[in-house]
Structure 1
Amino acid sequence: MHVVVNAAESVDGKIATREREQLRISGPEDFARVDRLRASVDAVMVGVETVRSDDPSLTLDDESLVATRTADGKSPHPARVVADSRGRTPPEARVLDDTAETYILTSEATTDEYRRSLEEGDATPIVAGSDRVDLGAAFEALAAHGIESIMVEGGGELIFSLFAADLVDELRVYVGSMIVGGRGAPTLADGDGFVGAFPDLSLESVERLDDGVLLEYDVTDADRGD
């Protein structure tokens, strides 16, 4: 499984305000880049908090990219993946519509009723882990469904968990020209944080887009035997 984390942050490393409101950090050039990146992968992934706060569709905006995927024999849109350990994805969430295939990664802490409700709504539940989603096992299950590449769009808790599990291959960060501030404002990688054995990043490119900078890194210590 090839995993690319893509995010936009302020100069001070924030991905949202302290009230967890969605921010417009980048501009049209970066939006187009993100759409192309989405089109290049098998699935786009977020955590349940992103679904609850932003209600993203996680589908492609550019119809030419949809047409290209279709011509290549792929689904019009990449699949959508939500990490949701406790079954908190709202039934009206846009990721549960029929625009694209959707997988909900969940744990044994959810009920059979919740999993059945996902299946009745055309989403596929993948149970991995007893109390929290075991991301490594969940990714193995996704691979069995034919998903070989994933773009992760957030949020900070999920991104930290993926780095902690040594599951990230690439990191792409757009740094916009703004200051957000706030001790409680979410960052690129929240969670417990690292105090040692930090992820080993190798800077591969720097590019100016809109009024900001795109940084692309390889994660050089990702080692899953794939």
Structure 2
Amino acid sequence: MERPFVFINAAMSADGKISSFHREQVRISGPEDMDRVSLLRAGSDAVMVGVGTVLADDPGLRIKSADHKKMRSDRGQSNQPLRVVVDSRARTPPGSEVLGEGSILAVSEAAPEERLAFLREKCEIVVSGEEKVDLGELLSILKKKGVERLMVEGGATLNWSLIEAGLVDEISVYIGPMIIGGEGAPTLVDGPGFSADYPKLSLISADLLDGGVLLRWRVLR
């Protein structure tokens, strides 16, 4: 199967949480890391999130930096990468910031048609999988649309699904100098968890940033 190069980028607390037990956005990154994230978006053909992130944070996923937009235009690309939401049951609200021109909603065949009727006016709909989005098939579709480099910005369930399916090449994690706590707070990777054959990583780099540390890992096959 041909697919894009896939990397997860996330920020988490020193105790491994990406949000609080309220599952509301917590600002973990500082200005240097936020600029790094913008640069990563500028270098990607598409940015992907799960519906849980959309419902909790309502992210726009757009590049705001004029310099980073210019970098893309100088390469002959559009100002913004494609924005992809993985949403098996089409739960994304039609007024979500992520929707609009240049957005794709990936749904399963189980998505209610009455929901899709409203959402088709806001984005392109891609159907993949019966009950849940078939992520491998979705990545193949994105590849055919010209996506060579895909940035995944969460959340924990989507991260799990991609890693469990063996569809992730690299993981970049900014670890901020704070503690969030809470056994119900989401971690970098949730889901059922592995009981054997744990995915192995190879460290690419470790750098001090914004009072925390940025780790880059290669996922080993």
Shorter-chain TM range is over 0.9
Partners of 2:220 and 2:157 in 1: CA distance: 21
- Structure 2 equivalent of residue 224 of structure 1: none
Q: Could you say what secondary structure the match of 2:98 adopts?
A: helix
Is 1:153 paired with 2:149? no
Q: Distance in 1 between matches of 2:27 and 2:113?
A: 38
Post-superposition, which runs of at least 4 consecutive aligned residues in structure 1 deviate over 6 A? none
Q: What does 1:62-77 correspond to in 2, within 5 Å?
A: 62-77=65-80
Q: SS of the counterpart of 2:197?
A: coil
* TM alignment of 1:86-165, pairs within 5 A: 86-98=89-101, 101-121=102-122, 123-165=123-165
Distance 1:196 1:7 in 2: 24
String of CA shifts for 1:117-158, please: whole Å, max 9, x gaps. Answer: 33322x111111100111001111111111111100110000
Deviations 1:57-103 (A, max 9, x none): 000121111112112110101010000001100000011133xx111
Q: Give 1:188's aligned residue.
A: 188
Aligned partners of 1:71 and 1:37: how far apart in 2?
16
The CA RMSD measured in Å over matched residues stands at 1.0
Can you give the 5+ residue segments of structure 2 that lack an aligned partner in the other structure? none
| Equivalent position amino acid for 1:213 in 2 | V
Letter of the 2:207 partner, please give it. Answer: E
Does the residue aligned with 2:208 lie in a helix, a strand or coil?
strand
Q: TM-score, normalised by structure 1?
A: 0.94
Q: CA separation in 1, counterparts of 2:176 and 2:199? A: 23
Amino acid at match of 1:205: S
List alignment gaps of at least 5 residues for structure 1.
222-226
Same amino acid, percent of matched pairs: 50
Secondary structure in structure 2 of the residue aligned to 1:94: coil
Matched, 1:200 2:203: no
Secondary structure of 2:120's match? helix
**CA distance in 2 between partners of 1:73 and 1:170 (Å):** 26
Match in the other structure for 1:175 = 175
After superposing the two structures, state which structure 1 stretch, 151-160 or 105-114, moved more. Answer: 105-114
Aligned residue among 58, 61, 66 for 2:61: 58
Q: Separation in 1 of the partners of 2:5 and 2:145? A: 14
Q: Indicate the SS of the match to 1:69.
A: helix
Q: Which amino acid counterpart does residue 115 of structure 1 have in structure 2? A: L
